[in-house]
Structure 1
């Protein structure tokens, strides 16, 4: 099981802050994960429709979409952050 944590408008659109799921063997990268989640229902498809802007952190380390997520205990998905 992998813990998924959602932040900001990703959380609002999916309707939950976190969940634990079994990832299929075919889900090897962050991009694979986003594509897989979009198949889980309308709320996921809506939250992740602009998948290129979604940031991914694996075990609290930022990763690019093409990087592996194998062995991750926790994966966080969040929109781009602004700040000052």
Structure 2
């Protein structure tokens, strides 16, 4: 699946997107965040406070407990404010 990173998540990881193949036990967005955070220092820094990270699966905003099976694209971004 393709994973995209936006705003300071992208800046901390150092890339805007990548293709990953998480193991079968990674079933939810929350699981994916935990798995990504273990991939190295930059990922750990980007996901150090997972509760503030927002996610979208195939362009639809989802909750952390959303299942990722069948997802083509998952995007991670910080909270947005309107103005």
Short-chain TM bin: over 0.9
- Alpha-carbon distance, 1:23 to partner: 1.4
**Runs of at least 5 residues in structure 1 that lack an aligned partner in the other structure:** none
Structure 2: distance between partners of 1:3 and 1:67 = 16
TM-score by length of 1: 0.97
Structure 2: distance between partners of 1:64 and 1:82 = 18
Counterpart residue number, 1:36:
35
TM-score by length of 2: 0.98
